[in-house]
Structure 1
Amino acid sequence: MTLAQTISAPLHRPWPRRWVAAAGFAVLAMAAVALWGSGYASRLYFDEANARGNNTLRLAVAVLRGHMERYESLPRVIADFDDIKAVVADPGNQGLVADVNAYLKQINTQFESSDIYVMGEDGTTIVASNYDSEAPFVGENFQYRPYFYDAIDGGEGRFFALGTTSFKRGYYFGAPVLVDGEFKGVVAVKVDVDSIEETWRGGDYLIVVTDPEGIIFMSSRADLLYNSMLPLTPDRLARTAETRRYANAELAELPFRETGDERHRLISIEREETASEYLVVSEAMPEADWTVSVMLDTASARAQALTTTIIALLAIALGTLAGAIYAQRRARLRERMHLQREAKEMLERRVTERTAELASLNIKLEEEVAERRATEQILRKTQSDLIQAGKLAALGQMSAALSHEFNQPLSAARNYADNALVLIERGRIEDASANVGRISGLIDRMNSISRHLRNFARKPNQKLTSVPLDLVIGDTVELLNWRIKSAGIELSLDIGDDHLVIVGGPVRLQQVLVNILTNAIDAAETGTDRRIALTARRLKDRAIVTVRDHGPGVAPGLAERIFDPFFSTKGVGKGLGLGLSISYNIIKDFGGELRVENHPEGGALFTIELQHVQLPAMAEPAQ
């Protein structure tokens, strides 16, 4: 017998008794849940549905009351107007009738009511807000409506009905018109209820409003309108017909059966071979003599109760099955623990071996990291040397023209000096002083050019700081002014009035601008249009500098290679092909971006995008 057989054999003996006990307990528990638990779950979910229905009911009643209270005092206010009293006292005055009709229409539009009209002592309508509609109330007699004769008795007329003229449902408010304390007419305001019904639709419930006779006159479902939830006895029909509450609408009894208990009122509506059961909660509105009811479909609550019962039965079955699985797992536990001990020992051996391997790999990795760090330092130094080489190459190209730039003021200074000696000998001291001043200006100009060359030639400090963009652009233009003049270039500057301050180094940024402007001058010299435009603008937190020439532009296929080191489209001896590559890396170091593209109207367009700072730093700018 194996070790596994030795472990599992004694565990199989007590299983039959445990299975019988577990099965008996499971059967009893499932029977108790099926008999008692389903009823309890149904009551629980009906209570939840009842609470939701009461919340909806309170909200619906509050909306109805708020809607009614908005118009409750409107008839009394209108009845106190002098024009209303005048028109009921003199209904034959057509000019006054026309004015009051227009006035009532204005008020009706302002308060968004359905209709406003005024009736005389006999109930005949004299003026109305709908006087110019297809079915006006003017001339109609409404003395049979309760809102009329209740107002005659000195009270407030209230009535819900289907209009006999417009055949639209509405709630009516009436108020008497008194002239010198005598009754002369009634002001009636009709309020539309369709807008309230619209807010009830789309929910998982029904809302119905019934009158004192039990007839549904408002509902979130249109097919329930004019159905009675009480038997339509002759007395009820007679009272409804007396006031012509529902005009020509056809009334019918709602086919339903009421069930439930003292806690829950349930009704089943039976129509066309289908029956729907609803949980009903109701609240009376005595001020309007209405009853508002919310009806919730019980299918969801019953489905939840059934689901809960099934889940409970499944839980019992799963619990029994879990117990059986647990017993079986206990039988195999010791065998598994034995296998785990062997696996653990094997794992420890493999961990020891892998630890030694990882230690060796770690040493090699440290050596490789040190080697890469040394390579990176060499690369940075090489990059710095390349930048300096590019500047020195640019200085070499400038040297011939700069010597002319220096010789010209030197020759002029010598002439001014010779003239000054002659003027002194002749006693013209003032003219001689003017010549000396001109000599001083020429010397200042040469000093300025020399200073820019020294700054451009020296190696920059790598620290980034706040740099005034306009000063760097001005120094760059002054440095290249000899080239611009000799090439006949028309350079236009547009740097705005924002005094842009960017993050970078002034000397390295000047090198970038020198490289780009030099390329633009070279491109402009190849054509007849020798205009170059340099602009600088702020865009949110970025400063955008663009340089556009009117030369041949960038050839197709070269835009992706133009920033590569040693790539040049110029002839032999006219450049190292490092200028744009160095410029690209400098702008990247500044956290910016350098792009080139062809302008739609011709020529190349270089765009420099740099980080803009609101206030320049107070520290000394880096070079």
Structure 2
Amino acid sequence: MALRYQRLLWALGAFALLLAIGASRLAYDRALKAQFAELNERGSSTLTLAASSLSGLLSRFERLPGLLAEQPPLRALLRYPDDPAHLDAANQHLRENAERSGASVIYVMNSEGVTLASSNYDQPSSFVGGDFSFRPYFQEAMAGGLGRFYALGTTSNRRGYYFGAPVEFGRDRLGVVVIKIDLEQIERAWAYEDLRIIVTDTEGIVFLSYRPDWLFHTFGALTPDNLARTRETRRYAGAQIGQIDHTTGTVPGGHAVLRTTADDGAREEFLALQTHMPRAGWTMQVLLPTGAAYAQALTLVSTGALGLGLLGLAALALWQRRRQLAERLAVQSRAAIELEARVAQRTSELKRTNIALQEEVAERRMAENRLRQTQAELVQAGKLAALGQMSAALSHEFNQPLAAARNYAENAAAFLDRNRGPEARDAIHQILGMIDRMTRISRHLRNFARKPNEQLRPVPLAEAVAGARDVLAWRLDKAGVMLELALGDPPPMVTGGLVRLQQVLVNLISNALDVTEGSNDRRLHLSAAARGEMVEISLRDHGPGVPEALQARIFDPFFSTKEVGKGLGLGLSITYNIVRDFGGSLSVANHPEGGAVFTLVLRAADHPALDAAE
């Protein structure tokens, strides 16, 4: 028993050791990742400040050459270069502006690139007489723009940034005013702040660095084109371009690091952050040593591991003394916790599922209401559009009876004056007949135009057909189309709404009228027959029929086979949705003897309509 217990202790100890090693490694990785994130944030702030200071220095001098180009002493010198008085005045003017602005050197070149006057005219490294026509800043200024260039001075052998502006007199470009800024003061300021900052030019050559041995070196081999451009502009005079021994990689968190060799031969690793300065075409990098991050992460993990180790030893001693009681309590506790967790999880899942179902039901109800509302609006729009199309013909339908009624009224008055009562009464009966006809048409149009109720009820099919026929009577007469009815005896009752059923029949008959315009046989056949609990209503025309390839799309919204401008393609779509709301179906097929057959199937109803107007 003791040996078994001892083996169990050894197994637990080994497992605890492995667990501690794994946990320590995971904790170290997380701590290191946090340290690098903090280091990256600090480096980003440093990089932003350094880039802003350098950009601010360049911006401070950017407009000065253009202002100096307007100064009379410089313009006079370029116009009269051989006049000693103008030369002396220009030198003094340039020196005063250089001292006032803090520029390293300000000088004036003629149109050939030869320096005529300079703020350092009386110093051993004077620029006077120097030919700098090969510099890009001179060439860009002579082309009419603002010249910019960074280079190592061929005369002073000092690094600087050059701004050049043309001096113009009328349409003539007499020369160029150039300002040189000494960037070494920025480098000295960075060294004072113990900042590890390097700046590379457009070719990738380091020209500002906290390490002097990196100056005029690259982090990779220059291409022949880059090397040729550097030599052509004599950017770094006669300096030898070298390469920096380095490697790159990443650390936890995905941050880029640069590994180099220090002056004493030791390997160094830096977290490298860089930003591009588009106006100057430079790339600035801030290098932050990573040694402190590794040490801090190791210290945190070591402290945590030591604390956990002491806590583990204490727990192990307690477990050895009370293992039996602890095992029973642990089993009970784990079971209770697991049960509570399962209950809580299941309860939470049920709540989430219930909420999701309620939201889905609400969304479906809202979508159904929006669908019904949109469908009702489309039905109403279709009816109003049909009424608009019928307005001219209906005007004719009303004007003719009104004119006839006037004539009959005048005749009746004449008959009454002559005491011809029977003839007057006959004229009045004619007037009443015409009034009844106009009343019937207006009632159908009024019912046809207003929005229907949503409730379904028994509807006499014959009444719906009569209403649709009255609405379209003018088109039938105008087109010379015969609508032949075979509704059965008695005509069936269907389940639906009278106005919407009239809309369905009007749309179907209107489409049939459209396709029979060019047909020799202008008959339409409307028939109805009971099929068990359903009523099948068919409308056949003698037109060209519907191609089989289009039959599946004929009821889609905005799909139309008519010419452009003769329909929106909504009539059959609205009709299809009305029939579906009635609980019926609508289909189309071609008749074997020619023409199309639209088949409308509705549920049969056994009771008369309660509200014929719906």
The two structures have a TM-score, normalised by structure 2, of: 0.49
TM (norm. structure 1) is 0.48
Task: Using CA pairs under 8 Å that are at least 6 residues apart, name the structure with larger relative contact order, 1 or 2.
Answer: 1
